[in-house]
A and B are shown apart, each in its own frame.
Chain A
Amino acid sequence: MSNPDSGTAARHPQVARSGGDFNRQAGLRLLAYAAAGIAALVALMALLSGFGGGSGTAKAIDYERNSITLALRQEPPQMDSTKLTDQVSGMINGHVSEGLLRYDENNQLAPGVAERWEVTETNATFWLREDARWSDGSPITAHDFIFAWRKVLEPANASEYAFFLYPIKNGEAINNGTMAPETLGARALDDRTIEIEFENPIAYFEKLAAYSTYAPIKESFYESTNGRYGADADTMLYSGPFMITRWVHGASMIMERNPHYWNPERISLDRINFAYITSDTNATLNLFKADSIAYTALSTDNLPDALNQRFDMDRFMDGSVFYIGFNYRDGRATQNWHLRRALQLVNDPSELINKVIKIPGYLPGESLFPVWLKGVDGFFRQEYPAPVADRNIAEARREIALAKEQLGVTELPPLMLLSGEDPLSSRMAEYYQELFRRTLGLDVRLDKQIFKQRLAKMTAGDYDMVMAGWGPDFDDPLTFGDLMSSWNLNNRGRYNNPELDRWVRLAQSSLDQQVRMDAFGEIQRILYEDIVVLYQYERGQIYVTNPALKGMVRRAVGPDPDFSNARIVRTDTAG
């Protein structure tokens, strides 16, 4: 779109025949001008190259500097841990910040700043290690945690993830402004001991403590940034293995080894250079091909190209579950069980994965509880297998007839399917629209909206069906299990089932794992029998990494991908 209005003169009058001599001389002169022009242009470019700063010409793997180059999917909005909500910020935060606990390379909870801890039904105590240091060399103390937590709960700070701290006594009341921050049930007994009193008994507090919202912040430094904490590389302090040394917004971010990190043995890389910020997977694959970045995820569309390039691929499941949610508000046809049953009977998640998504690593959706969740002893889904409905179009049509009968209509009203704007979800929406039309004769109208408008419509209940997904916040089935409880604000379809609510309450309050898992099993059954949602898939990912980069950790819960344990191993093929 760079050509402006092309409406001005271009005429072709008769031209006097010019002699060849004239042409040659004029042409030469023209070439001389051109050469001068190009020289000036190059000089100007060199001059202007100071602006912006960014990618440089780093190679994917820099053996000399012990450094890797990567691309970020998007710019982290800010690195203020009290306001972190998105996945990219969470990933970076996992490298530059360490809370009381962390997830290790085997995805097990490991000691972080706390060297040991004790959790009972009503209390938790954390003992901090002596050698934990901020990147300015000062010790990380219990007060830094208490300050950060109060900050998260401070109403004026408007932290969106404040509810993560609600298990701490008075947390919710403080956040609502009804109690003073000093009343928070978390106290620093001394510089190195934190004692926490719970609002209610809680079985998974350790897992919460590893979450970024629980990260420490040093008060004196925070106050010195004048509300710009975490907005730039130099307006935050780092407690993790790396620290951000350069952050050019929208362009690049460089992380270097934190010299004051208490456990230097676990880090091998000296530098991680996020030299590009782009969400375009074709661009990142191009960068990978050009040996400019060491890792990229692949998409449905560029998978064949990567295959052609003979790149080594790996797969990974990111732990999130995707489904079509229904609207249960009054007056919506989707309140009708038979209609939902009909949709369930034509929904074939494996067809969706094999023919539309086309990425190995995705699993057909069968349950709201993904396969990686742990149960009592083994995996939850092995202990409590999910019931599955096979595609049965004839049966589905009978259900549609029943639905019409119950609703007292001869023709079902058009169903609004709300979807996001990313290419994959609008593709899936198109697929479902045609599937429901072809098999059931339903008139499905697509409503593709940008993120915030989709959320607004979901909250207002302005839809019948919505393509939604849910990722885990902590490593416990409850992170999925309470999603459809009547009080959960993320239950935007307002599904309300007292029986399900009862099981959720039990799972929340009980400390007996067997009782809790049984409750989740019941929740899974109700979700299936009442067809609360239509399962689509558990998301997978196919990615390529430079063969010289080893030890990158993928995980469903916590910062992903995690390069803090990564190392460079010289290979023969890698240049």
Chain B
Amino acid sequence: MGRYVIKRLIQGVITVWFIATATFWAMHQVPGDPLSNEKAVTPEIRANLEARYGLDQPPLTQYGIYLKNLLRGDFGISFTQQNREVNDIIREHFPVSATLGILAILFAASGGVLWGALTALYRNRLPDVIIMFLVILFISVPSFVIAALTQLLLVKTNDVLGFSILPVAGWGTFTHMIAPALVLGLGTMAYLTRLMRSSMLEVVNTDYVRTAKAKGLPAARIFTKHQLRNAVLPVITVLGPAIAAITTGGFVVELIFAIPGLGRYFVEAVQQLDYTVIMGTTVFYGAFLVFMVIVVDLVYGFIDPRVRVS
């Protein structure tokens, strides 16, 4: 087990190095000039700027400096926010994205299991039809449309009620989190509902459920001990990729709901061609995902003996 973990960690570090390198070279392919601004600057001022960001060095030297700084966990200074370090930016904005992501995942997972189990119980009856219709809707409508419509709905509801039940945008209190987390989790929840439903239906036909019924166990006990527990396993296995998709996929929600998350920051940095922020964010997210996957893999081993790691 220990050897396995170490091996995975070493692989993870190599992967992060790969991501860092890919980002660096992709970044240097980008046409355009991060130092240009609305007003043209004299060659002298420009030279001063280049020296400040080390852009006067040859690319290979820049790469070396970049890797060296990376080892120390230093992502450099932002190009647009000239007096701020990328580390500060990540430290301040990642918790926001992570909070949103965690809530969305929890919401998606619990909702998915709940609705999936419900639809399986009421197979081909009204609740099933309604829920599955909604599921199909949420899977096929682009998330930005759902996000924009949700915001509109909030405005209307608050207007009709005369007071604000949920804020329209912004971040801070936990009422601010509800709407964006719901929107962010909806797609995944719909997908997990489908998964849970088919998984439940498969479990219903298994021998151990039939045996349990034949033994005369109470229905609720069969349901929780035999059906739900076994049906949830496939759902858990897809949570890993789902976490990845959600934490890095929060751009749209962060943009529409004016949430100061790292995703929105990334999009803005790209538009400003802020090299250091783009590279820092990408490498940070990459590393985060790599280690999330390792953690998830290890956790599976504990949950499901069938996939215990070698």
Contacts and interface: CB of A to CB of B under 8 A. Distances in A.
- Give yes or no for direct A-B contact (beta carbon below 8 Å): yes
A286 B120 CA distance: 40
A25 B223 contact: yes
Given A16-B205, A29-B224, A290-B158, A249 B260 contact: yes
Contacts of A455: 32-33, 36-38
B31 A52 contact: no
A286 B255 contact: no
Given A158-B45, A290-B155, A450-B273, A2 B33 contact: no
A50 B78 CA distance: 26
B107 interface: yes
B129 interface: no
Interface string B33-45: 1101111111011
A160 to B, nearest CB: 5
B81 A77 contact: yes
A67 to B, nearest CB: 16
| Range class of the A interface residue count | 35 or more
B299 to A, nearest CB: 18
Contacts of A22: 219, 222-223
Contacts of B45: 155, 158-160, 162-163, 175
A54 B170 contact: yes
B76 to A, nearest CB: 13
Contact of B114 (A33, A159, A276, A289): A33
A52 B114 contact: no
Interface string A236-266: 0000000000001111100000000000000
A449 B177 CA distance: 34
Contacts of B252: 1
B310 interface: no
Contacts of A451: 271-273
A2 B246 contact: yes
Contact of A10 (B102, B198, B227): B198
The interface residues of chain B, by DSSP majority, are classed as: helix
Contact of B170 (A46, A55, A156, A175): A55
Contacts of B152: 286
A436 to B, nearest CB: 26
Contacts of B194: 6, 10
A44 B103 contact: yes
Nearest to B257: A283
Interface in B202-235: 202, 204-205, 210, 218-220, 222-224, 227, 234
B117 interface: yes
B171 A23 contact: no
B114 A10 contact: no
A230 B270 CA distance: 23
Contact of A26 (B30, B121, B185): B121
B282 interface: no
A452 interface: yes
A455 B148 CA distance: 32
B11 interface: no
A3, A57, A290 — which one has the most chain B CB atoms within 10 A of its CB? A3
Contacts of B219: 19, 21-22, 25-26
B205 A15 contact: yes
The interface residues of chain A, by DSSP majority, are classed as: loop
Interface string B142-179: 11000010011011001100001001111111111110
Interface stretch (A78-86, A91-99, A116-124, A355-363): A78-86
A490 to B, nearest CB: 5
A352 interface: no
Given A41-B103, A249-B92, A78 B82 contact: yes
A15 B168 contact: no
Interface stretch (B20-28, B93-101, B287-295): B93-101
A238 B195 CA distance: 58
B298 interface: no
Nearest to B274: A452
B246 A277 contact: no
Contacts of B99: 48, 51-52
A52 B95 contact: yes
Nearest to B196: A10
Contact of A55 (B32, B36, B171, B187): B171
A489 B84 CA distance: 28
A25 B218 contact: yes
A179 B62 CA distance: 30
A378 interface: no
Interface string A1-24: 111111011111111101101110
A427 B80 CA distance: 27
A30 B197 contact: no
Contact of B36 (A83, A289, A459): A459
A231 B84 contact: yes
B48 A276 contact: no
Contact of A450 (B155, B176, B271): B271
A4 B36 contact: no
A72 to B, nearest CB: 10
A277 B172 CA distance: 13
A228 interface: yes
A10 B181 CA distance: 26
Contacts of B81: 75, 77-78, 231, 249
Contact of A421 (B158, B271, B273): B271
B193 to A, nearest CB: 10
Question: Which 9 A-B pairs give the minimum distances between C-beta atoms?
Answer: A55-B170, A489-B40, A453-B32, A250-B260, A278-B258, A251-B260, A49-B174, A54-B172, A231-B83
Interface of A: 1-6, 8-16, 18-19, 21-23, 25-30, 33-34, 37-38, 41-42, 44-46, 48-49, 51-57, 71, 74-75, 77-78, 80, 83, 85-86, 155-163, 175-177, 227-231, 235, 248-252, 275-278, 280, 282-283, 286-287, 289-292, 421, 449-457, 459, 488-490, 492
21 contacts: A2-B245, A8-B234, A10-B194, A10-B197, A22-B222, A49-B177, A55-B170, A80-B82, A83-B83, A156-B51, A231-B84, A248-B260, A250-B265, A278-B255, A283-B258, A286-B152, A450-B273, A455-B37, A456-B36, A490-B40, A492-B40
Given A15-B123, A289-B155, A292-B169, 6 more contacts: A15-B204, A30-B223, A49-B172, A85-B38, A280-B255, A283-B257
Interface of B: 30-34, 36-42, 44-45, 48-49, 51-52, 78, 80-84, 88-89, 92-93, 95-96, 99, 102-104, 106-107, 110, 114, 117-118, 120-123, 139, 142-143, 148, 151-152, 154-155, 158-159, 164, 167-178, 181, 184-188, 190-191, 194-195, 197-199, 201-202, 204-205, 210, 218-220, 222-224, 227, 234, 238, 241-242, 244-246, 249, 252, 255-258, 260, 264-265, 268, 270-273
